[in-house]
Amino acid sequence: MKIQSYVKGEWCSGNGRVDTLVNSVNDKLIGEVHSLDSDFDQILEYGRSVAGPELRKLTIHDRAERIKLLAKYLLDRKEDYYRISYMTGATRADSWVDIEGGIGTMFSYTGIARRELNNDTFVVEGPVEPLSANGTFVGQHILTSKEGVSLHINAFNFPVWGMLEKITPSIIAGVPVIVKPGTVSCYLTEAVVKAIVESEILPKGTVQLISGSVGDILDHVNEQDVVTFTGSASTGRKLKSHPNIIAKSVPFTMEADSLNCCILAPDVTVDDPEFDLYIKEVAREMTTKAGQKCTAIRRAIVPFNMTEAVSEALIKRLQATVIGDPGQKETRMGALVGKSQRDDVLAAVEKLMTGNETLLSGMDDYQLIGADSDKGAFMAPTLLRASDPFNNITAHEVEAFGPVSTLMPYDGIEQAIQLAKMGKGSLVGSVITKSPEYARDIILASASHHGRMLVLDAECASESTGHGSPLASLVHGGPGRAGGGEELGGSRAIKHYMQRTAIQGSPTSIMAITNQYTKGAKTTTDRVHPFRKYFEELEIGETLITHRRTVTEADIVNFGCLSGDHFYAHFDEIAAKDSFFEKRVAHGYFVISAAAGMFVDPGQGPVIANYGIDNLRFVEPVGIGDTIQVQLTAKRKIKKTKKPDDKYDTGIVVWAVEVTNQHNEPVAVYDILTLVERMKKD
């Protein structure tokens, strides 16, 4: 079988280097990868010129909706991927993280995009910035899709998740992708890309796949492209320093394997549930994916007086781990991805043994379930203990990318923090403690050296996703040795593939560009009340100015009786005079309730419901005898995707509301959201 590439709209094999791939469990031949040897400039240009324009025509919400459909499509075919994943040495549990974890990331991003980003082809970011005294010159930030492609050079250990967690934010951002998976497991990535292509959910050419070498592709990336890399720090540094990357300032994000740590705080004893949590967490990170995780725990930092107890408990748990054929139900740890990878791990272990004590050796004889010890890339867990982790820095420098970890004793949390930092930058660190105070001290002192940190205790253990699980809503990346970049991270990841631009001009110009009302912009009025208009009929900047209303003592008394709010500033004449207000004032919520009564059209119409209030501020107090008036302006429109059980096609209209007093001073400002019916289509 030939593992193919998908480029320029077709499946093909190259004439370059040939790599033979074998099953990591039994050494059976899987197939060959024939690397492409030319036309990498054309592959890049195909993404830029064919897929890019079509993708950018779609709104952000449309792109997210297509990703959601694609995620469902892939989920229906997950069992095919599980069968293939077995050949990488992964158990069902290992594969779940990769396959369903990757698909779950797609679902997460679709929700993030629809919740946090406007339904347009670009993003309006942050508030309008005033740039002049009279408000006629303002600034705003927008993000537009880069007009290049994103090239993802991925590691071998997560052939599905590693691809999906990168391509999803890029596609939502409007940037087509080229995926280069780790060669040794690229056959699983190929299977998923085949489904993506067959689904025809995305515009043609949105996803291209390069199986095998990337050749000279970095010679051809340009200023509009983005490159991301996951893998070893040494390879990442070579790619990052490529002359063309430097010359054209091509954004390059690196996520490198790091020497992550897990700290057992001094307050935990062997009788505490947190002790068991520590043992489980370290053992799980050593054995999941046979330790082939960039987030795995490589350094287990424990109090000096707990070293023996931790050693004994860890050895007992690791020795009970069933190793063998990942297809067997009893198996808890499968094989490494290949024999060359096992050789690399064993060579790293040899280095780690220098000056450190071997507590449990993966080189010793061990029993395999359903597998032949003469075949495959199996290795047992290896546990070391650093005799002097402050002076023998090997365990802070050398990473064995397999089921290997080193215990490091410390005396006092200052030493624990020092050891954590000696990793010179990590993707993740964790602290297991009963004490919020210890957690605070350790996290704040060592966060500068970590991209993510987990605090684990008995309270959150049942729902915690664990030390080694990056989540779509949180940043995944880290400083220093970990690469100095970020992946994932909610809407931040989508924005990574977009260009942030500051635009300056008059409020009216900025409103025209952003499709959002800007205070001070020219507005329009209509004899028809805006609440009588369907979603499509409303124009941004359309304004209603209401009649006036004078606030009376009866209003305050009645609202207080209705709400039960009898705060002294509303009812106690003497206390109110001595207060900040210097007089009795109306309830703030009375003011916005009265405002609603002034701008709402009471008849049945396209406005279905109040959807919420954002950014409410009470600016000035309203006293007895003050007169208020309301200006209601259509600020932003968000078209909603109709769900099967929805009765109406709807959209959300965001209205800027400003309540002023008789001196034309703002007393309350806020945004109100209404659910508005869209016009019925023929």
Active-site amino acid positions: 255, 294
Identify whether the C-beta of residue 14 lies closer than 8 Å to the C-beta of residue 35.
Answer: yes
SS3 per residue for 517-566: CCCCCCCECCCCCHHHCCHHHCCCCEEEECCCEECCHHHHHHHHHHHCCC
Which residues are registered as beta bridge partners of 543? 633
Nearest alpha carbon to residue 30 among 99, 101, 112, 88: 88
Report how far residue 99's alpha carbon sits from residue 92's, in angstroms, rounded to the nearest whole number.
10
In DSSP terms, 256 is beta-bridged to 231
Could you tell me the sign of the dihedral formed by the alpha carbons of 440, 442, 445, 446, in that order? negative
* Among the listed residues 49, 8, 118, the one whose alpha carbon sits nearest the alpha carbon of residue 494: 118
| Residue 664 parent element (H or E) | none
Which residues is 428 bridged to in the sheet?
A: 452
44: its two tokens: 């890049």
Choose among 588, 613, 601: nearest CA to 674: 613
Chain centroid offset of residue 619 CA: 36
Measured distance CA(169)–CA(321) in Å, rounded: 37
Nearest to 160 by CA among 238, 77, 241: 77
Q: Are strands 650-660 and 666-677 parallel, antiparallel or unpaired?
A: antiparallel
- Rg of the chain over Cα atoms, rounded to whole angstroms, equals 30
- Only one residue has tokens 């050693």, namely 311
Task: Look at the chain and count its residues.
Answer: 682
- In angstroms, the CA 62 to CA 639 distance is 10
